């Protein structure tokens, strides 16, 4: 291959959305392009691949990239919602189905899963994450990688993003600077990526935000030393959208040519649309500023991925519009049902289907908004809205009024009419939250309450005294203390995707148990952010005796530092709901937490008895948390180390055994990854603040 043809393999350009303009045809014919992003038209893709194979100088097929983030035509819940299922198998199946749909049309590469540990609900991209916990993110990320890549007939190459620390952007403001000490990077932010690399992920995308002063697209330590050196990753690194040329805007490269050289040296194999590689790499090599051997290495890694993706396999694949199947919708419904978190229930749920229901709210009948962010190919016609699903079940006993035009609508003009409608019903269901566009990339908020007049609507309707059920559809955790207080039942549904309506109806009426569990801590107020369960030890932890409210401080109280602890004066120090929390329609008890004999590869093994103590079958997620009681660095107050979703019949008892490896108890203390024997406290229960615990001595 000529130098130009080699560089072509490192260049990704934008498709023309269903057409094939001459410049694109030419570029593929002369081998100047290795990948195309954002083309999903099967006829165009058949032709593009034919040209690449038959008319380009080397016959190398193209990688066709698309953001298939939580479904293709069939839309699953946003990733944050999928995370609430705590169901690795189901998440893997969802990814496999997304791959099956997308690959039929000729897409062979998705920019998913996003593995950014996300602890700031202001950040719009928390919607695309699996939440705040490294273990949950790692397990679900690995599941998605398997789901996308492991179907030999319809594989999608997966891409781990955004490497790394993007979720920690300051002030929860997208693209903002990120500062993470290496100890934090290695203990919290890197592990999900490492797990997904081990699961076989073929590509990785560096993040937009700079990390400790260096944008990852130019960061050789990250992309070479850690990713390729420590983890033996041998796939390809693709820049984020134009992030190579943005090295100039960041102020770490003098001009675009320098930016291209810096990214190539750092190990970025492919330039997503910035044009910097196409414009400068050849000249840099010819001028002796860049070694051609480096280009060869970058190209080989691209080709390795193309081979692994089956692009060279015979027979040649012929693409067509994706088949739509009822099974796809059934799976979308199942994932949505398992992602819905029941946060409060004053015995109004499950709802009997005999009565009259009044459905209110701006998100009750919005086929597009319920899909959430990143749904380029989502088929809105496939959406079943809440109104549609309720109408099918309750028929003439359902009344409906959106009251507000959008979630941001501030007008209270429709409140009285809504109250009249509510008054004529036995129960009111309010579908509230955020429209899809209020979260996702670049859509961050400084206020995380319900937008518009929605909270006022809850107050107005709750004053009637009818049972009020609130369903929140949103791309982020919202601060909803007052709404929770006023509602008789509250379900957090995230953006549930195509089958939002059917799934919510089924959970609300008890067709399935409420089984979602929070993948993020819910704050009471935005001022508590970042609030996450695995925070470090302070030397002065808050205790009930030391917390004082601002209104209770005596006038002219003297300053003292004696007895002070860590809390805000104006908010309860606990979260509104802890990580891992969610109610079922039955109750579970955990008893008899005990140590078991360990096998050679285990550091500690715990057994616990779980009993369904309620009157119906149900689902719980048993969660095991650990605290390292004495260590060479402060450790989180609790860390999730294992979880298991299980279904038990009424009265059924099951013994669970959790195995914890030495690696799971090891951590980076600033110098190395260390395993420090000693005392650990272990909790097992249904959320991060659960009480059943035992102390163990690990040798």
Strand partners for 628:
680
How would you list the strands of the sheet with 468-473, edge to edge? 341-345, 489-492, 468-473, 427-433, 357-360, 398-401
- Token pair, residue 57, equals 């100088």
The nearer residue to ligand BGC, 203 or 612, going by C-beta atoms, is: 203
Least separation in angstroms between residue 67's CB and ligand BGC is 5
Show contacts with ligand BGC in window 35-74 (CB under 6 A).
67
The nearer residue to ligand BGC, 231 or 241, going by C-beta atoms, is: 241
Strands 203-206 and 236-237 come out as parallel
Strand partners for 451:
none
Q: What is the DSSP string of 99-134?
A: HHHHHHTT--EE---B------TTSGGGGGS--S-H
The nearer residue to ligand BGC, 127 or 259, going by C-beta atoms, is: 127
Q: Collapse the DSSP code of 399 into the 3-class scheme (helix H, G, I; strand E, B; otherwise coil) and give the result.
A: strand
Number of residues that bind ligand BGC (CB under 6 A): 6
Going by the DSSP 8-state scheme, the letter that residue 558 receives in this structure is P
The nearer residue to ligand BGC, 249 or 463, going by C-beta atoms, is: 249
Determine the length of the chain.
699
Least separation in angstroms between residue 18's CB and ligand BGC is 17
Whether 110 contacts 92, CB under 8 Å? no
Least separation in angstroms between residue 161's CB and ligand BGC is 5
Q: Does 312 bind ligand BGC (CB under 6 A)?
A: no
Residues 6+ apart with CB under 8 A from 481: 524, 525, 576
Q: Which 3-state string (H, E, C) describes 66-81?
A: ECCCCECCCECCCHHH
Q: Does 319 bind ligand BGC (CB under 6 A)?
A: no
The nearer residue to ligand BGC, 241 or 368, going by C-beta atoms, is: 241
For residues 640 and 617, give the distance between their C-alpha atoms in angstroms, rounded to a whole number: 26
Least separation in angstroms between residue 37's CB and ligand BGC is 6
**Residue ranges in 424-499 assigned as alpha helix (H):** 454-462, 481-486
Residues 6+ apart with CB under 8 A from 572: 524
**Which of 41, 120, 240, 271 does the annotation list as catalytic?**
240
- Bond preceding residue 567 cis, omega within 30 of 0: no
The nearer residue to ligand BGC, 56 or 243, going by C-beta atoms, is: 243
Q: Which 3-state string (H, E, C) describes 563-629?
A: CCCCCCCCCCCCCCECCCCCECCCCEEEEEEEEECCCCCEEEEEEEEEEECCCCCEEEEEEEEEEEC
Least separation in angstroms between residue 196's CB and ligand BGC is 15
Q: Is 75 exposed, middle or buried (0-12, 13-18, 19+ CB in 10 A)?
A: buried
The nearer residue to ligand BGC, 158 or 521, going by C-beta atoms, is: 158
Least separation in angstroms between residue 216's CB and ligand BGC is 12
Residues 6+ apart with CB under 8 A from 23: none
Whether 172 contacts 161, CB under 8 Å? no
x-or-dash string of contact with ligand BGC, 433-452, rule CB under 6 A:
--------x-----------
Tell me whether residue 313 is one of the annotated catalytic residues: no
The nearer residue to ligand BGC, 175 or 221, going by C-beta atoms, is: 175
Show contacts with ligand BGC in window 133-192 (CB under 6 A).
161
For residues 473 and 288, give the distance between their C-alpha atoms in angstroms, rounded to a whole number: 56
Least separation in angstroms between residue 240's CB and ligand BGC is 5
The nearer residue to ligand BGC, 67 or 120, going by C-beta atoms, is: 67
Q: Give which of 280, 286, 212 is closest to 244, Cα–Cα.
A: 280
- Bond preceding residue 101 cis, omega within 30 of 0: no
Residue labelled with tokens 């032709």: 47
For residues 260 and 143, give the distance between their C-alpha atoms in angstroms, rounded to a whole number: 34
Q: Does 241 bind ligand BGC (CB under 6 A)?
A: yes
Q: Does 572 bind ligand BGC (CB under 6 A)?
A: no
Q: Does 240 bind ligand BGC (CB under 6 A)?
A: yes
Show contacts with ligand BGC in window 624-683 (CB under 6 A).
none
The nearer residue to ligand BGC, 37 or 610, going by C-beta atoms, is: 37
Strands 398-401 and 427-433 come out as unpaired
Q: Please report, for residues 376, 492, 627, 635, 638, the alpha-carbon distance to residue 536 in angstroms, rounded to integers and kept in the order given.
A: 39, 28, 10, 6, 9
The nearer residue to ligand BGC, 70 or 161, going by C-beta atoms, is: 161
Axis-axis angle for helices 42-54, 22-29 (nearest 10): 40
- Token pair, residue 253, equals 């490269």
Interior/surface letters 206-237, b for 16+ CB within 10 angstroms, e for the rest: bbbbbbeebbbbbbbebbbebbbeeeebebbb
Closest residue to ligand BGC, judged by C-beta, is 111
Least separation in angstroms between residue 207's CB and ligand BGC is 8
Among 72, 109, 111, 494, binds ligand BGC (CB under 6 A): 111
Q: Give which of 451, 494, 128 is closest to 343, Cα–Cα.
A: 494
Q: How many CB atoms lie within 10 A of CB 248?
A: 18
The nearer residue to ligand BGC, 161 or 495, going by C-beta atoms, is: 161
Q: Which active-site residues does the annotation give? A: 240
List residues near ligand BGC by CB under 6 A.
67, 111, 161, 240-241, 441
């Amino acid at each position: 291959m000529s130098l130009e043809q080699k560089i072509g393999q490192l260049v990704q350009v934008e498709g023309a959305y269903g057409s094939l303009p001459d410049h694109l045809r030419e570029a593929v014919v002369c081998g100047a392009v290795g990948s195309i992003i954002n083309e999903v038209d099967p006829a165009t893709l058949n032709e593009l691949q034919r040209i690449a194979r038959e008319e380009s100088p080397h016959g190398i097929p193209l990688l066709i990239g698309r953001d298939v983030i939580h479904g293709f035509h069939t839309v699953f819940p946003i990733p944050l919602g999928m995370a609430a299922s705590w169901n690795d198998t189901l998440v893997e199946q969802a990814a496999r189905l997304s791959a099956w749909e997308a690959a039929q049309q000729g897409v062979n590469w998705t920019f998913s899963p996003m593995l950014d540990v996300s602890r700031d609900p202001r950040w719009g991209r928390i919607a695309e994450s699996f939440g705040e916990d490294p273990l949950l993110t790692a397990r679900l990320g690995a599941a998605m990688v398997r789901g996308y890549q492991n179907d030999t007939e319809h594989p999608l190459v997966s891409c781990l993003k955004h490497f790394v620390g993007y979720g920690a952007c300051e002030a929860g403001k997208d693209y903002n600077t990120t500062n993470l000490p290496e100890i934090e990077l290695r203990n919290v932010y890197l592990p999900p990526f490492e797990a997904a690399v081990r699961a076989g992920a073929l590509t990785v995308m560096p993040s937009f935000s700079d990390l400790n002063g260096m944008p990852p697209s130019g960061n050789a330590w990250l992309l070479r030393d850690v990713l390729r050196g420590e983890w033996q990753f041998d796939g390809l690194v693709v820049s984020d959208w134009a992030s190579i040329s943005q090295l100039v805007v960041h102020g770490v490269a003098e001009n675009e040519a320098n930016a291209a050289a810096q990214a190539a040296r750092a190990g970025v194999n492919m330039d997503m649309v910035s044009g910097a590689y196409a414009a400068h790499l050849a000249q840099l090599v010819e001028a002796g500023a860049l070694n051609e051997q480096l280009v060869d290495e970058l190209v080989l890694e691209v080709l390795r991925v193309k081979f692994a993706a089956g692009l060279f396999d015979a027979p040649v694949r012929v693409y067509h519009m994706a088949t739509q199947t009822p099974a796809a919708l059934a799976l979308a419904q199942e994932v949505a049902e398992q992602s819905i978190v029941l946060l409060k229930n004053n015995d109004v749920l499950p709802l009997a289907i005999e009565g009259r229901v009044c459905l209110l709210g701006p998100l009750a009948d919005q086929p597009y908004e319920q899909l959430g962010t990143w749904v380029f190919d989502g088929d809105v016609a496939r959406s079943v809205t809440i109104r549609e699903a309720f109408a099918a079940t309750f028929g003439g006993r359902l009344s409906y009024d959106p009251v507000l035009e959008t979630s941001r609508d501030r007008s209270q003009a429709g409140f009285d009419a809504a109250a009249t409608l509510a008054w004529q019903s036995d129960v009111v269901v309010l579908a509230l939250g955020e429209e899809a566009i209020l979260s996702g990339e670049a859509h961050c908020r400084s206020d995380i309450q319900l937008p518009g007049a929605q909270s006022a609507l809850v107050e107005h309707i709750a004053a009637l005294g009818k049972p009020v059920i609130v369903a929140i559809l949103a791309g982020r955790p919202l601060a909803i203390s007052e709404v929770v207080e006023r509602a008789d039942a509250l379900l957090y549904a995230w953006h549930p995707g195509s089958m939002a309506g059917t799934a919510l109806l089924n959970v609300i009426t008890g067709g399935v148990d409420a089984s979602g569990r929070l993948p993020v801590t819910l704050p009471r107020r935005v001022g508590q952010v970042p609030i996450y369960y695995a925070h470090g030890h302070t030397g002065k932890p808050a205790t009930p005796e030391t917390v004082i409210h601002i209104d209770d401080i005596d006038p002219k109280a003297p300053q003292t530092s004696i007895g002070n602890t860590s809390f805000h004066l104006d908010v309860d120090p606990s979260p509104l709901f802890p990580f891992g929390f969610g109610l079922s329609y039955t109750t579970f008890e955990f008893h008899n937490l005990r140590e078991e004999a360990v096998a050679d590869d285990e550091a500690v093994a715990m057994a616990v008895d779980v009993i369904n103590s309620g009157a119906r079958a149900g689902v719980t997620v048993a969660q095991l948390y650990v605290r390292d009681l004495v260590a060479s660095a402060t450790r989180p107050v609790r860390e999730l180390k294992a979880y298991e979703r299980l279904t038990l019949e009424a009265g059924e008892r099951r013994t669970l055994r959790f195995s914890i490896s030495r690696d799971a108890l090891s951590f980076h203390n600033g110098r190395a990854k260390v395993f420090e024997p000693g005392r650990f406290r272990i909790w097992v229960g249904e959320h991060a603040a659960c009480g059943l615990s035992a102390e163990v001595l690990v040798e």
